[in-house]
Structure 1
Amino acid sequence: MNAITPPHLKWPAGTDHTAVPYSIFNSREVYDLEQKKIHNGPTWNYLSTEAELPEKGSFKSTYIGDTPVVVTRGQDNEIYAWVNRCAHRGAEICRERHGKSEDGAYTCVYHQWAFDAKGDLRGVPFQRGLGGKGGMPKDFAKDQHSLRKVRVVNHLGVIFGTFSDETPDIETYMGEDVAYHFKRILKGPIEVIGHTRQYIAGNWKFYSENTKDPYHASLLHLFHPTFGIYRASLGGGTIVNNDVHSVLWVENSKEDESKLSDVKSDNTRTYQEGTYQLADPSLLAGAKEFDDDTTTVIFSLFPSLVVHQIQNTLAFRQILPKNENEFELVWTFFGYADDTEEMRNFRLKQLNLVGPAGLISMEDGESTELCQKAIVRDGNYTNVLEMGGVGTGTDDHFVTEGAIRSLWKGYRKMMDV
């Protein structure tokens, strides 16, 4: 084990990826190491959509891990990003979430040091002093005091950032299958139609596990099976690339009758045919918009992004760790620039399915908090990840935790444990 590795990261001997120590979910030491090796390491982190930076001078404040970052569109129409920390005394420079700099300058309110869209220092008040007194040293060079730059890539209208020169190109980072599904959803120019934000009192990795877990989908989210959006007997499965990235996909048109029979006889609440009806059935009205029969996709790009297609609702979910016990989840809902009015109305109505109070997704935040509360003093215990066996990787069914086991396999490589 690496000499600087916290003891909380020690996996039980012989358990491989099927037993994760709970201590890694509430240790500040582990959290700080994650910020260094994962978020500040060779990973691509979701920053923004290009649609949120529509004009020269547009900007958005966000984070890579818990490091504040600003994404800008420069006067040259290129996209840049830099750490939101003044090179002078470390103050936050940009204090708005979105906006436009009319003159292309970003000025720190503390001492009014000014930077351009690239993060280069352009102005220092009283640099030459006043009346021959004070000022910066004669050899002070503004080009030596730029903001900390972020390497960015604009992939299909989505902006990703990394602090590492060793991070591979974005499609190699994703892996072939995952990259295909990203292209499938980002099939054309997008239009942002709304945002929501929520703070969740749980460790960010609990949510990462959740997005790779088809086992819970028909058990926790009863809206799914009650109204026919998802059952474990439907067609689909999970795809894993590079251990930590995954796609969960569902085809409602393909259902295995033998599996459905098992679902009906399993004495769970996952099958409630005809028991309940929606007062407003138009909530689930929609239209087919892809060339395939896939009706649900949960796309997870570690460490910070989840993209979903659920019926006609599309969204980016950005996972932003705040500390070892809390993270923020930022939802960016979108459609396509060429959507008809009818399709946009479908998307707007189906926003009720997801988000902080969504008819489907609100349970995910609650389950994360339930886990965090229960492990507060039990860090020496482990979870049990043996559904579907003990292997990692892709599965052609939903009664599995293979993608979660893959996540921990990749996590351990990144953390060097």
Structure 2
Amino acid sequence: MYSCETIIGGAAASGKNAPVESLAWPEEGLQTIPDWVYTSESVYAREVERIFHGRTWNFVALEAEVPNAGDYKRSYVGPTPVVVSRAEDGSINVFENRCAHRGAEFCRHSRGNNKEFVCPYHQWSYDLKGNLQGIPFKRGVNRQGGMPKDFRNEQHGLRKLAVATRNGVVFASFASEMESLEAYLTPEILKDFDAVFTGKRLRILGFYKNELPCNWKMYHENLKDPYHATLLHSFLVVFGLLVAGNRSAMVADSKYGIHGTMASAKSDTLYASVDEDKKKEMRSFHEGMTLRDERFLEFVKEFDSEWSVTMQTIWPNLIVQREMNTLGVRHIVPNGPNSMVMLWTMFGYEDDSDEMTRHRLRQGNLMGPAGFLGLEDNEAMKFVQEGVRRSVTDRSIIRLDGDKVGTADNLISEAAIRAMYKHYREVMGF
């Protein structure tokens, strides 16, 4: 597990600690990213307000995590703790994990089953929809103390969020009158989202949790950056999961430019066929690298999709991973400008055979905080955060594929990253 280092000293470039009102995007526009988007406390505070608490749908749970009445899960919208609860009538409710009385986080367990939620501080109690139902000594003792006569429980429940679900995936929003989830996700993203979430009941296989010493936006960038995938990951290029020359795509939604799908179709051969010119460009390609257990990369064609791999980013906090037959969601929890927590949930389908479940778990070693692929991404993003946080240089370059913004028809492109920052600048006012 990674944790943030505390650095004493070091250089601070101009703008990194400046008030957000004084910051201006570099003149080069979308072909550069200023370092302060990753390091500024004031920028981070505005992101929480305008993005996570703004007009976005945030992933909070899979319905399979709360299948029965009374089931609940602790979750997050941005850094804000929330509770996802299944009520007696079957409805799913999301509300802040903050007692209306004195602000205590009343839900202390990651998941469980309750008939009610009781704050440990003063025992105020709430039902499964977040309504205040009980206050100890509400009328005082011996006609002394207690709440005023005009106090109404129904006016002091928990802060409730709007909720939307699609095929077993639960989203929540602080925004009122939010557009439909389907309109927000857009047809381009729904195509591959629905290939994973078909409506079949899911089976939860396990969880991971790790902290990364990097800004939360870097994870979105990483999965909108097919360029790095062909250079950083030895496993991808040697075994042909995502390699220059394969049939691939980097799709950005055409409405906002903030969601994306990095996709690739693996050839029928176990090992990649790479010509000598491409090998010279890819230092991560190791000739003779083989598997002891070749079942690891068997691909069972079970999806209504042309792709064997899709890694999908849904703004602002969800990654949907389909790497061959291993399935999972990753929940981004920002933790200040220089840190984020990643919550992983691995799953299969309820009608999977025992053999298929073992296959998914075997392939799951690709992913997770120490997976054959995940570990390299974690290290790379740590190195980037260290660079932008400590250096006196104040911007990064994103010029691959010229001025193109959005979907790219090749892997040597940063067009999807530029699309994300185009929307980001509009929302943030830069």
Please, what TM-score do these two structures have when normalized by structure 1?
Answer: 0.94
Aligned to 2:359: 346
Q: Distance in 1 between matches of 2:386 and 2:132?
A: 46
Q: Which residue of 2 aligns with 1:403?
A: 416
Q: Which residue of 1 aligns with 2:161?
A: 150
In structure 2, the residue matched to 1:381 is: 394
What's 1:216 paired with? 228
How many angstroms does 1:254 deviate by?
A: 9.2
Task: Tell whether the 8 Å contact from 1:244 to 1:302 is kept in structure 2 after alignment.
Answer: yes
The amino acid that maps onto 2:301 is: K
- The correspondence for 1:113, drawn from 113, 116, 124, is 124
Q: Secondary structure of the residue that 2:402 maps to in structure 1? A: coil
The separation in 1 between residues aligned to 2:299 and 2:404, in whole angstroms, is: 38
2:237 is matched with which residue? 225
Q: Which residue of 2 aligns with 1:11?
A: 25
Cα shift at 1:192? 1.1
Distance 2:323 2:168 in 1: 21
The reply on whether 1:137 has 2:151 as its aligned counterpart is no
Mapped to 2, the partners of 1:234 and 1:335 lie a distance apart of 27
Tell me, in whole angstroms, the C-alpha distance in 1 between the residues paired with 2:76 and 2:69.
Answer: 21
**8 Å CA contact 1:264, 1:271 repeated in 2:** no
The superposition leaves residues 125-161 of structure 1 with CA deviations (integer Å, 9 ceiling, x where unpaired) of 0001111111111111111101100101111100000
Structure 2 counterpart SS, 1:288: coil
| 1:297 counterpart letter in structure 2 | T
Q: 1:360 to 1:100 in 2, by over 3 A?
A: same
- Verify the 8 A CA contact 2:299 2:308 in the aligned structure 1: no
Provide the residue aligned with 2:317 in structure 1. Answer: 304
Counterpart contact for 1:232–1:263, Cα < 8 Å: no
Distance 1:5 1:166 in 2: 31
Residue in structure 1 matching 2:208, options 191, 196, 201: 196
In the alignment, structure 2 segments of 5+ residues that lack a partner are 1-17
Provide the rounded CA distance (Å) in 1 between the counterparts of 2:178 and 2:169.
Answer: 17
User: In 1, distance between residues paired with 2:23 and 2:162?
Assistant: 30
Question: Paired residue for 2:15?
Answer: none
- Residue 176 of structure 1 corresponds to 187
Number of aligned residue pairs:
407
Whole-Å Cα distance in 2 between the matches of residues 75 and 290 of structure 1?
A: 34
**CA-CA distance at 1:263 after TM superposition:** 4.8
Would the alpha carbon gap of residues 213 and 159 (structure 1) be closer, same or farther in structure 2, given more than 3 Å must change?
A: same
Alignment of 1:44-193 (within 5 A): 44-101=57-114, 104-187=115-198, 188-193=200-205
Q: Structure 1: which amino acid aligns with 2:159?
A: R
Q: Is the 8 A contact 2:329 2:345 kept in 1?
A: yes
1:358 aligned to 2:371? yes
| Identity within the alignment, % | 38
Give the equivalent residue in structure 1 for 2:259: 245
CA displacement, residues 373-398 of structure 1 (integer Å, 9 cap, x when unaligned): 11124476111101111220111211
Does residue 347 of structure 2 align to residue 331 of structure 1?
no
**1:24 deviation in Å?**
1.3
SS at match of 2:227: helix
Classify 1:94/1:135 alpha carbon distance in 2 versus 1 (closer, same or farther; 3 Å).
same
- Which amino acid in the other structure matches residue 355 of structure 1? G
Deviation track 1:264-291 (CA, whole Å, cap 9, x = no partner) reads 3534325445x11112222223422124
Contact 2:230/2:282, CA 8 A, preserved across alignment = no
**Alpha-carbon distance in structure 1 between the residues aligned to 2:40 and 2:196:** 36
Structure 2 counterpart SS, 1:17: helix
Distance 1:294 1:8 in 2: 45
SS at match of 1:375: helix
Deviations 1:212-260 (A, max 9, x none): 11000121111111222221211011111121011111012399xxx95
SS at match of 2:399: coil
Separation in 2 of the partners of 1:372 and 1:110? 39
Instruction: Give 1:337's aligned amino acid.
Output: E
Given that 1:105 and 1:116 are in contact with CA atoms closer than 8 Å, whether structure 2 keeps it comes out as: yes
The worse-fitting range, judged by mean Cα deviation, of 364-373 and 377-386 is 377-386
Match of 1:20, SS state, is strand
Q: Distance in 1 between matches of 2:157 and 2:242?
A: 50
TM-score, normalised on structure 2?
Answer: 0.91
1:29 alignment partner in structure 2: 42
Q: Which amino acid aligns with 1:11?
A: W
Residue pair 1:39, 1:45 contacting (<8 A) in 2 also: yes
The letter for the 2-side match of 1:120 is N
Contact preservation (8 Å) 2:192, 2:305 = no
Among candidates 367, 385, 397, match of residue 380 of structure 2: 367
Q: Which amino acid aligns with 1:229?
A: L
8 Å Cα contact 1:8-1:30 kept in structure 2 = no
- Taking a change above 3 Å as real, the CA distance of residues 330 and 379 of structure 1, as seen in their structure-2 partners, is farther
Contact 1:93–1:107 (CA under 8 A) maintained in structure 2: yes
